[in-house]
Amino acid sequence: MIEYRNVKKSYGGKQIIKGVDLTVEKGEFVVLIGPSGCGKTTTLKMLNRLIEPSEGSIWINGADHREMDLVKLRTSIGYVIQQIGLFPNMTVEENIAVVPRIMKWEKKKTLDRVKELLNMVNMPYNEYGRKYPKQLSGGQQQRIGVLRALAVNPPVILMDEPFGALDPITREILQSEVKKIQRELKITILFVTHDMQEAMKMADRIVFMDQGRVLQQAPPKEMLLHPANETVARFIALQGIGSRTDRITAADLMQQASGLAAGEDSVTVEAEEEVKEICQKYDLSKYRRICVKDSQGLLIGEITVGSLLEHLTEWM
């Protein structure tokens, strides 16, 4: 179990993490999400002490992580980043064996483990073991990045936008692979992304951060349907609209009705307006209803914000 207790981080008087409390259960898949610069990476890196907290403490299985041996701490926490970070001077085999080597595993044991891991992602040792990262595709490289993090079976893995640089198809495949491995091996994963779709797919719990604070922690569906506040709602609304919502208009979603009246709790939009634009234009967390008018300005139907969110969930 991992516990962040009122963790703060300042750089030169500027506080960028403003008191994070976060508990991650063993085997849980927690996704940190939030706008760029909100402190996701910093929060992650404080766990393996690439960054030291300025205040507060982090506890791992009941021990203050600053009192743990640094090498032990780090070798027990896998680390995967967007830039992949494979060592270009090392072969695939050597890259995967980095942590086993630090932990002074026997050669035979390491080799067996490398082979086993490569088999897990269908990249046979004989074909790929001696290749250099540059000789692999981006997707293959990131697979190796993940395998390297898994090498010594660490109980915890940190992933910082690991699939951010991959094409959508490869990303989806890798997401599934990681989710499957995580479930099977019951690894605790802290995963950073700013892609809501990815968060929805991967997370047991989503932690929404903004400006160095945690705004909401909830399972994916719950966050989607009950965003704690405006910022979360807007972020979800903006992200919910992937390509699948292109060209879906207000008219497509509205319930026809007559005798409607716009009010404090509603916004009024044109029938032809795209849902995507509506989400971007209005802060929907402030309203309950969206009234739809035709070209003559007559109200012809309405969409409840709740039903819109439900649709967005489906489309993700």
Partner 1 sequence: MSWEMVLEHIYMVVVSCSLVILIGVPLGIFAYCRPQAGRIILTVVDLIQTIPVLAVMGLLMMMFGANSTTAVISIVLYLLLPIVRNTNTGLNSVSPILKETADAMGMNRLQRLVRVEFSLAFPFILTGIRIAFVTAVGVAVFGTFVGGGGLGSMLYRGIRIQNFELILKGTLTLMVMSVFFDYLLGFAEKKCGGAHEKVEK
Ligand X SMILES: Nc1ncnc2c1ncn2[C@@H]1O[C@H](COP(=O)(O)OP(=O)(O)OP(=O)(O)O)[C@@H](O)[C@H]1O
The residues binding partner 1 (CB under 8 A) are 48, 50, 70-75, 77, 79, 81, 83, 85, 87-90, 98-99, 102-103, 131-135, 148
Exposure class string for 302-314: b at 16+ Cβ within 10 A, else e: bbbbeebbebbee
Distance, in Å, from the CA atom of 67 to the CA atom of 120, rounded to the nearest integer, reads 35
CB contact at 8 A, 92 and 133? yes
Is residue 300 part of the contact set for ligand X (CB under 6 A)?
no
Least separation in angstroms between residue 13's CB and ligand X is 10
Q: 158 forms bridges with which residues in the sheet?
A: 79, 190
Least separation in angstroms between residue 145's CB and Mg ion is 16
- Using CB distances below 5 to 8 A depending on partner kind, what does residue 257 bind out of ligand X, Mg ion, partner 1, none? none
Is residue 141 part of the contact set for Mg ion (CB under 5 A)?
no
Is residue 42 part of the contact set for ligand X (CB under 6 A)?
yes
Please give the residues from 21 up to 80 whose contact with Mg ion meets the rule CB under 5 A. Answer: 41
Residue 125, token pair as written in the block: 């040792």
Least separation in angstroms between residue 144's CB and ligand X is 22
Binding flags for ligand X, 191-230, as an x/- string (CB under 6 A): ---x------------------------------------
Binding residue for ligand X (CB under 6 A) from 37, 138, 168, 263? 37
Stretch of residues binding ligand X (CB under 6 A), selected from 35-43, 133-141, 147-155, 286-294: 35-43
Binding residue for ligand X (CB under 6 A) from 2, 24, 39, 278? 39
Is residue 36 part of the contact set for ligand X (CB under 6 A)?
yes
Residue 74, token pair as written in the block: 């780090």
- The dihedral sign for the CA sequence 93, 94, 95, 99: positive
- Using CB distances below 5 to 8 A depending on partner kind, what does residue 71 bind out of Mg ion, ligand X, partner 1, none? partner 1
Please classify residue 11 by burial: count the beta carbons closer than 10 Å to its beta carbon, then call 0-12 exposed, 13-18 middle and 19+ buried.
exposed
Distance, in Å, from the CA atom of 91 to the CA atom of 130, rounded to the nearest integer, reads 5
Q: With contacts defined by CB under 6 A, how many residues of the chain interact with ligand X?
A: 10
What backbone torsions phi and psi does residue 293 show, to the nearest 5 degrees?
A: -115, 155
Least separation in angstroms between residue 140's CB and partner 1 is 13
What backbone torsions phi and psi does residue 110 show, to the nearest 5 degrees?
A: -65, -45
Other Cβ atoms within 10 Å of 39 Cβ, number: 22
Please give the residues from 3 up to 32 whose contact with ligand X meets the rule CB under 6 A. Answer: 11, 16
Is residue 38 part of the contact set for ligand X (CB under 6 A)?
yes
Nearer to partner 1, 88 or 306 (CB): 88
Question: How far apart, in Å, are the Cα atoms of 255 and each of 3, 14, 64, 261, 315?
Answer: 46, 49, 55, 14, 19
3-state helix, strand, coil in the chain (%, to 5): 40, 25, 35
DSSP state of 212: T
Least separation in angstroms between residue 184's CB and partner 1 is 23
**What does the binding site for Mg ion look like in residue numbers (CB under 5 A)?**
41
**What does the binding site for ligand X look like in residue numbers (CB under 6 A)?**
11, 16, 36-42, 194
